[in-house]
Amino acid sequence: MQLVVFVIASLMVLVGAVGVVLRRHPVHAALSLVLTLFGVAVHFVAQEAHFLAAVQVIVYAGAIVVLFLFVIMLLGVDSADDLRIERLPIQRPLAAVMGVGIVGLLIAAVVATRGSEPLQAGAGINVAGVGIDDAVAGHDANITQLAGNLFADYVFAFELTSVLLIVAVAGTVVLTRREKPPSEEDAP
């Protein structure tokens, strides 16, 4: 099974990387980059580096590629795509199959975790984020301590950073908004 996961994830990485280099349309190249980053995240999961996989998806595939797409859209694309012409006629059925597969995986995950014990409120770090319980002092102790530092000790800095990013995006949109030139009909 590990070999199958490795081969599929490696194909994702290679196809995405080739797509980044060969695609002419910048949005398609950015989406190929997302495929590459997801493949790397699958490799992290296979190596049981779950935190790195989550960071890979959230930070790189999420935030960085969104910034790439934002810059691409900000600069504008010279050629307009006609949305009535489907260049890939299989994409809609393939999207439906992928959607059903993701819902199936979600249902399987819920069913698989239904019999397990829920996480206790006191397990892990305490409210102040000072110490670690004996229950999680093993395998997930670093993740628990990192979460405690991020969401307890440094929550203000974390939220301030998110507000700063939102203000930067809003300011960029306001600064780059193009004004329409006044038409002759608007003139008095």
Please tell me whether residues 72 and 131 are part of one structural domain. Answer: no
Whether the predicted pLDDT of 51 surpasses 60: yes
- Domain final residue pick, 11, 43, 77: 77
Model pLDDT for residues 103-113, shown as the tens digit of each residue: 888 788 778 77
Note whether 125 and 145 are within 8 A (CB). yes
User: Whose CA is closest to 52, among 60, 41, 61, 67?
Assistant: 41
pLDDT of residue 121: 44
Please tell me whether residues 132 and 70 are part of one structural domain. Answer: no
pLDDT of residue 132: 45
Asked whether residue 115 is assigned to any structural domain, the reply reads: no
Model pLDDT for residues 121-172, shown as the tens digit of each residue: 444 444 444 454 544 456 667 777 877 887 778 877 878 887 887 887 777 7
Asked whether residue 110 is assigned to any structural domain, the reply reads: no
Q: What is the CATH number of the domain that holds 57?
A: 1.20.120.1200
The DSSP output letter for 56 is: I
- pTM exceeds cut of 0.85: no
What letter represents residue 174's amino acid?
V
Model pLDDT for residues 68-121, shown as the tens digit of each residue: 777 777 766 555 556 567 777 888 888 899 989 888 887 887 787 776 665 444
Say which residue the tokens 């059925």 belong to. 93
**Helices 26-46 and 65-75 meet at what angle, rounded to 10?**
180
Q: pLDDT averaged over the chain?
A: 76
Contacts of 149 (CB under 8 A, 6+ apart): 129
What are the tokens at 110?
Answer: 């819920």
How many domains in the chain?
2
pLDDT of residue 40: 92
Domain range enclosing 21: 1-77
Please tell me whether residues 57 and 128 are part of one structural domain. Answer: no
What are the tokens at 5?
Answer: 């996961």
What letter represents residue 142's amino acid?
N
